[in-house]
Structure 1
Amino acid sequence: MVSIIIDYLEDSMDPAFKEEFERHMGDCSSCLAFFETYKKTRDLTKEIKCDDIPPDVQDRVRAFLKKKISQA
């Protein structure tokens, strides 16, 4: 689902599929809610600068990501 949303937001989706996606969003409140939450989260995280994040939080996030990557 996330890869479809990314394609939609980056306008890289096939036009026919885009039309189908938009139709589905109009009919499915659960998918629309997920889409809106994802888009809002994406928009908000673009506003965050590394300088705004305390160093200890940056370290914890890096450690978490390294752990998840090594488990994949």
Structure 2
Amino acid sequence: MTYQQLQTGDYFRISGLSTGYVYRKASDTHCSLHGMLQPIRPHTPVRKMTAIEVQEHFAQQQSELTTIKKAANK
């Protein structure tokens, strides 16, 4: 699948990059990573994430934030 085949708002990973990098399609020419817009070529190979993968990604982020918050309060 290529970037241009995604719908705006879809979450995806770029083939060959760390699984920690989760992108979201923002427009036909840009995606977001950690809230920052990044340019991207339309024919970049991507792997669209399933709803379960997206849910697991955000659950992991929430867990990490909770751990940091607990550590900061000690």
In terms of fraction of residues, the more helix-rich structure is 1
Which protein has greater RCO, CA pairs closer than 8 Å, 6+ apart?
2
Larger strand proportion, structure 1 or 2? 2
TM-score normalized with structure 1 length: 0.37
TM-score by length of 2: 0.36
Larger radius of gyration: 1
